[in-house]
Structure formats: C-alpha cells, structure tokens
Amino acid sequence: MIGLKAVTLTLGSQAGPVEILKGIDLAVGAGETVSLVGPSGSGKTSLLMVIAGLERATSGQVSVGGVDYAGRSEDELARLRRDSVGIVFQDFHLVPTMTAQENVAIPLELAGARDAWKRAAGALDSVGLGHRLTHYPGQLSGGEQQRTALARAVVAKPSILLADEPTGNLDGQTGQHIIDLLFSLRAENGATLLLITHDPVLAGRCSRQVGLADGQIVKDNQQTAAVA
C-alpha cells in the first residue's frame, strides 16, 4: 500500500542544507496500523508529508496505492490525496471561514460527489457533531474541531489515513475519545493508518511501531518480529 525505498529529504535553511530524512525504507501493507514514534525533530512529520505528497523526496522512491510519485505533478498528487488519503493534523487545519459541514464536504465536493452535503452531515453525526453543522471552527472547542477534522479525513472513505499527533493539542479525556473515534472509523473502512504519536500507550494500539531518530528508522517491530 505504501512503499518507500531509500528516501532522503534535504531542506534548505539559512544555515545551509539540512538532511531531514536519511535513506528511509518502509513498506506498509493494506489495512495495517502503524505508529511512528521518535523524539521531536526526528523526521516523523516530514516522513508523513512525503507520504502524503506534500513534500517531495530529494531522492529515493515513494509509491502509495500503487502510484509512483516520481514525475507526478502537484495536481496529480492532489487528486491522489482527494481520492485515497485522509489526513488529521495536530492543529486541526480547518478552514476558519467555513462551517463544520462545509469543511467536511470539501474532499467530496472536490471529487464531484453529488451527495457531498448529505455525507458531510452524516460524517459529522458519526463523530457526535450532528448538532454543530453550521458552526464555524472558532465557535467549536478544540475537541470538537479535531472531531470535525477527523470527519473530514474519513468522509471520502480513503484507503490511507495519516494522523500527525491528533491528540497533541487536546486534554487526556478528549484525546482518548478522539483516538477511539479514529480507530473505529478506520476499522469501518479497513483503511491503512499511519499515526505519529509521542504516547507509548497510543503507539501500542497500532499493529506495528516504527521508531525514528535523526531521520532514520531505528526500530520497526515488524522487521524485529520477522528477524526473530
């Protein structure tokens, strides 16, 4: 489902180029749940960005759902995300000037779905926000905003779900609720989940844990298991 071979990422900075990812090899199968763990600055978010097609690998091969990213235009990658990838961010990244329902409907509307509006309402209902359809993000609590973002990520039934510390800005109880929702929604569609987290308990809920340090994979319990 997701395949990375010898992927490197080097970004320019005022102090000179910085190597963020250093030869990542990773293969994730369909329906797998993978947690990405590691200290701040280890390259977790960058890896997620590369997989989402939001950042281009400096070298190496990236393929998602059988689509090789090499030579693909920005717009082709956008269409791939629209159809196959759902993303949840720590900072929610809702469009502040759109209502909850409008936010959730975006991927469906971009795909030209006739029932986008109805399905967006359904998705919000499924995360317990059926009564908040016309509210703007500013009128929602943090937990509600993340639930809206979650509904938006899953509404188009993507085959891959990417989540970047989805509970990082939430209190423990709300965070727990969001994670429960994330896992149950994933289970409904059988989507592949890649989850960045600092929480070992949460990482433990995934079938596979991948550890990153200094831009390299330092731990992958699937490989460990295979070797064992």
Residue nearer to another protein on the CB measure, 73 or 227: 73
Query: Smaller CB distance to another protein: residue 29 or 111?
Result: 111
Pairing of strands 59-64, 216-220: unpaired
Residue 78 C-beta: closest distance to another protein, Å: 5
Q: Tell me which residues touch another protein (CB under 8 A).
A: 40-41, 44-46, 49, 52, 54-55, 74-75, 78-83, 87, 89-91, 93-98, 102, 106-107, 109-112, 114, 117, 136-139, 152, 164-165, 168
Rounded to whole angstroms, how far apart are CA atoms 96 and 3? 34
Going by C-alpha positions, the residue among 197, 147, 180, 183 that lies closest to residue 45 is 197
H-helix segments, the chain:
44-52, 74-84, 100-110, 116-126, 142-154, 172-189, 200-204, 221-227
Q: Which residue number, 77 or 182, has a Cβ lying nearer to another protein?
A: 77
Q: Quote the least distance from Cβ 105 to another protein, whole Å.
A: 8
CB of 1 to another protein, least distance (A): 18
Q: How far is the CB of 13 from another protein (least distance, A)?
A: 11
CB of 26 or CB of 52, closer to another protein: 52
CA-to-CA distance for 130 and 16, rounded, in angstroms? 49
Q: Could you tell me the maximum CA-CA distance found in the chain, to the nearest angstrom?
A: 53
